Amino acid sequence: MAVGTFEQYKERLLKMKPNIYIGGEVVDRSDPRMEPGMYVMRQTFDCAHDDRYKEFCTATSHLTGETINRFTHIHHSREDLFNKQKMTKLLSHRVGGCIQRCMGIDALNALSVVTYEMDDALGTDFHKRFEKYLAWSQENDIVANCAQTDVKGDRLKRPSDQADPDMYLRVVETREDGIIVRGAKSCNSAAPYVDEIIVTPTRFMGPKDAAYAVSFAIPADWPGVKLAALPGVRHKRKHIDAPINKVGDMESLTIFDDVFIPNDRVFMNGQADPRCTPYAGFLALMFAHFHRHSYTGCKPATSEVIASQAALVAEYNGIAKADHVKGKLAHIIGLAELVYAAGVASAVKAEESPSGTWIPDEILTNAGRKLAGEEIYNENKILADLAGGLIATLPMEADYYQEKDGVGDLLHKYIMRNPEISAENQHRCFRMIEDQMISEFGGAMIVAGLHGGGSPQMEEVAMMSRYDLEELKGIAKYLAGIEKDIPIYDRAYVTPRKILEKFKKQVKVPV
Amino acid sequence: MAVGTFEQYKERLLKMKPNIYIGGEVVDRSDPRMEPGMYVMRQTFDCAHDDRYKEFCTATSHLTGETINRFTHIHHSREDLFNKQKMTKLLSHRVGGCIQRCMGIDALNALSVVTYEMDDALGTDFHKRFEKYLAWSQENDIVANCAQTDVKGDRLKRPSDQADPDMYLRVVETREDGIIVRGAKSCNSAAPYVDEIIVTPTRFMGPKDAAYAVSFAIPADWPGVKLAALPGVRHKRKHIDAPINKVGDMESLTIFDDVFIPNDRVFMNGQADPRCTPYAGFLALMFAHFHRHSYTGCKPATSEVIASQAALVAEYNGIAKADHVKGKLAHIIGLAELVYAAGVASAVKAEESPSGTWIPDEILTNAGRKLAGEEIYNENKILADLAGGLIATLPMEADYYQEKDGVGDLLHKYIMRNPEISAENQHRCFRMIEDQMISEFGGAMIVAGLHGGGSPQMEEVAMMSRYDLEELKGIAKYLAGIEKDIPIYDRAYVTPRKILEKFKKQVKVPV
Amino acid sequence: MAVGTFEQYKERLLKMKPNIYIGGEVVDRSDPRMEPGMYVMRQTFDCAHDDRYKEFCTATSHLTGETINRFTHIHHSREDLFNKQKMTKLLSHRVGGCIQRCMGIDALNALSVVTYEMDDALGTDFHKRFEKYLAWSQENDIVANCAQTDVKGDRLKRPSDQADPDMYLRVVETREDGIIVRGAKSCNSAAPYVDEIIVTPTRFMGPKDAAYAVSFAIPADWPGVKLAALPGVRHKRKHIDAPINKVGDMESLTIFDDVFIPNDRVFMNGQADPRCTPYAGFLALMFAHFHRHSYTGCKPATSEVIASQAALVAEYNGIAKADHVKGKLAHIIGLAELVYAAGVASAVKAEESPSGTWIPDEILTNAGRKLAGEEIYNENKILADLAGGLIATLPMEADYYQEKDGVGDLLHKYIMRNPEISAENQHRCFRMIEDQMISEFGGAMIVAGLHGGGSPQMEEVAMMSRYDLEELKGIAKYLAGIEKDIPIYDRAYVTPRKILEKFKKQVKVPV
Amino acid sequence: MAVGTFEQYKERLLKMKPNIYIGGEVVDRSDPRMEPGMYVMRQTFDCAHDDRYKEFCTATSHLTGETINRFTHIHHSREDLFNKQKMTKLLSHRVGGCIQRCMGIDALNALSVVTYEMDDALGTDFHKRFEKYLAWSQENDIVANCAQTDVKGDRLKRPSDQADPDMYLRVVETREDGIIVRGAKSCNSAAPYVDEIIVTPTRFMGPKDAAYAVSFAIPADWPGVKLAALPGVRHKRKHIDAPINKVGDMESLTIFDDVFIPNDRVFMNGQADPRCTPYAGFLALMFAHFHRHSYTGCKPATSEVIASQAALVAEYNGIAKADHVKGKLAHIIGLAELVYAAGVASAVKAEESPSGTWIPDEILTNAGRKLAGEEIYNENKILADLAGGLIATLPMEADYYQEKDGVGDLLHKYIMRNPEISAENQHRCFRMIEDQMISEFGGAMIVAGLHGGGSPQMEEVAMMSRYDLEELKGIAKYLAGIEKDIPIYDRAYVTPRKILEKFKKQVKVPV
pTM for this prediction: 0.97
Q: What is the pLDDT of residue B357?
A: 98
As a whole number of angstroms, the distance between CA A473 and CA A487 comes to 9
- Among A462, C157, C392, smallest CA distance to B455 is for C392
- Judged by a CB distance cut-off of 8 A, whether residue B464 touches chain D is no
Domains observed in chain B: 6-277 (2.40.110.10), 290-463 (1.20.140.10)
Helix (H, G, I), strand (E, B) or coil at A396: coil
Q: Which of residues 23-82 of A touch D (CB under 8 A)?
A: 23-24, 26
CB contacts of B327 in chain D (<8 Å) are 324
Q: What is the DSSP letter of A354?
A: T
pLDDT above 50: residue A342: yes
Provide CB contacts within 8 A for C79, sequence distance 6+.
none
To probe the interface with D, which of C39, C55, C337, C394 has the most D CB atoms within 10 Å? C337
Q: How confident is the model at residue A509 (pLDDT cuts 50, 70, 90)?
A: low
Helix (H, G, I), strand (E, B) or coil at B36: helix
Q: Which of residues 109-148 of A touch B (CB under 8 A)?
A: none
pLDDT above 80: residue B163: yes
Average pLDDT over residues A252-279: 98
Mean of per-residue pLDDT scores for chain D: 96
Q: What is the pLDDT of residue D220?
A: 98
| Per-residue pLDDT reduced to its tens digit, C417-444 | 999 999 999 999 999 999 999 989 999 9
Q: What is the pLDDT of residue A67?
A: 98
CA separation, residue B139 to residues B125, B129, C330 (Å):
22, 16, 54
Q: Do D450 and A385 touch (CB under 8 A)?
A: yes
Q: What is the pLDDT of residue B509?
A: 66
pLDDT above 70: residue B1: no
Question: Percent of chain D beyond pLDDT 70?
Answer: 99
Q: Do B467 and A371 touch (CB under 8 A)?
A: no
Q: What is the pLDDT of residue B511?
A: 45
Q: How confident is the model at residue A496 (pLDDT cuts 50, 70, 90)?
A: confident
pLDDT above 60: residue A414: yes
Q: What is the DSSP string of C393-420?
A: TPPPGGGGG--GGGHHHHHHHHT---TT
Helix (H, G, I), strand (E, B) or coil at B188: coil
To probe the interface with B, which of C447, C457, C464 has the most B CB atoms within 10 Å? C447
Q: What is the pLDDT of residue C65?
A: 97
CB contacts of B322 in chain D (<8 Å) are 323
Other beta carbons less than 10 A from residue A510's beta carbon: 6
Q: How confident is the model at residue B156 (pLDDT cuts 50, 70, 90)?
A: confident
- Among C372, C365, C340, smallest CA distance to C351 is for C365
| Per-residue pLDDT reduced to its tens digit, D189-234 | 999 999 999 999 999 999 999 999 999 999 999 999 999 999 998 8
Q: What is the pLDDT of residue C1?
A: 64
| Per-residue pLDDT reduced to its tens digit, C69-101 | 999 999 999 999 999 999 999 999 999 999 999
Helix (H, G, I), strand (E, B) or coil at B139: helix
Question: Up-side HSE of residue B28: CA atoms within 13 Å toward CB?
Answer: 12
Mean of per-residue pLDDT scores for chain B: 96
CB contacts of C248 in chain D (<8 Å) are none
| Per-residue pLDDT reduced to its tens digit, A355-399 | 999 999 999 999 999 999 999 999 999 999 999 999 999 999 999
Provide CB contacts within 8 A for C167, sequence distance 6+.
B414, B416, C150, C151, C152, C153, C154, C159, C183
Return the residue of A nearest to B331 by Cα: A460
CA A457 vs. chain centroid, Å, equals 17
CB contacts of D348 in chain C (<8 Å) are 344, 348
| Per-residue pLDDT reduced to its tens digit, D57-72 | 999 999 999 999 999 9
Average pLDDT over residues B420-441: 95
Q: What is the pLDDT of residue D496?
A: 87
pLDDT above 60: residue D368: yes
Neighbours of chain D (3+ CB pairs under 8 A): A, B, C
Q: What is the DSSP letter of A158?
A: -
pLDDT above 50: residue A511: no
Helix (H, G, I), strand (E, B) or coil at D487: coil
Average pLDDT over residues A393-413: 97
CB contacts of D364 in chain C (<8 Å) are 337, 341
Question: Percent of chain C beyond pLDDT 70?
Answer: 99
| Per-residue pLDDT reduced to its tens digit, B451-467 | 999 999 999 999 999 99
pLDDT above 50: residue B299: yes
Is residue A93 a contact partner of residue A82, using CB atoms and an 8 Å limit?
Answer: no
CB contacts of B256 in chain C (<8 Å) are none
Is residue A198 a contact partner of residue A104, using CB atoms and an 8 Å limit?
Answer: yes
Q: How confident is the model at residue B190 (pLDDT cuts 50, 70, 90)?
A: very high
Q: What is the pLDDT of residue A491?
A: 87
Distance from CA of D324 to the nearest CA of B (A): 7
Residue of D338, D425, D473 lying closest to C311 (CB–CB): D473
Q: Parallel, antiparallel, or unpaired: how do β-strands D266-269 and D214-219 relate?
A: antiparallel
pLDDT above 70: residue D510: no
- Among B153, B57, C150, smallest CA distance to C158 is for C150
Neighbours of chain C (3+ CB pairs under 8 A): A, B, D
Q: CB contacts < 8 Å between A and D, how many?
A: 248
Helix (H, G, I), strand (E, B) or coil at D106: helix
Q: Do B389 and C151 touch (CB under 8 A)?
A: no
pLDDT above 60: residue A510: no
Q: How confident is the model at residue C511 (pLDDT cuts 50, 70, 90)?
A: very low
Q: What is the pLDDT of residue D13?
A: 98
CB contacts of A447 in chain D (<8 Å) are 384, 389, 391-392, 437-438
pLDDT above 60: residue B267: yes
- Judged by a CB distance cut-off of 8 A, whether residue B322 touches chain C is no
Average pLDDT over residues C204-216: 97
As a whole number of angstroms, the distance between CA A216 and CA A132 comes to 13
> Does ipTM surpass 0.85 in this model?
yes
As a whole number of angstroms, the distance between CA C307 and CA C122 comes to 50
CB contacts of B315 in chain A (<8 Å) are 473
Q: What is the pLDDT of residue D511?
A: 45
| Per-residue pLDDT reduced to its tens digit, C316-357 | 999 999 999 999 999 999 999 999 999 999 999 999 999 999
Q: Which of residues 141-200 of B touch D (CB under 8 A)?
A: none
Q: Parallel, antiparallel, or unpaired: how do β-strands A170-174 and A178-185 relate?
A: antiparallel
Average pLDDT over residues D244-256: 97
The residue ranges of DSSP E strands in B411-503, in sequence order, are none
Handedness of CA D157, D160, D166, D170 (dihedral sign): positive
As a whole number of angstroms, the distance between CA B467 and CA B494 comes to 6
Residue of C327, C366, C475 lying closest to D305 (CB–CB): C475
Q: Do D327 and B324 touch (CB under 8 A)?
A: yes
Q: What amino acid is encoded at D366 in this protein?
A: N
- Ramachandran angles phi, psi of B215, nearest 5°: -145, 140
- Ramachandran angles phi, psi of D483, nearest 5°: -125, 150
Is residue C227 a contact partner of residue C19, using CB atoms and an 8 Å limit?
Answer: yes
Question: Percent of chain C beyond pLDDT 90?
Answer: 95
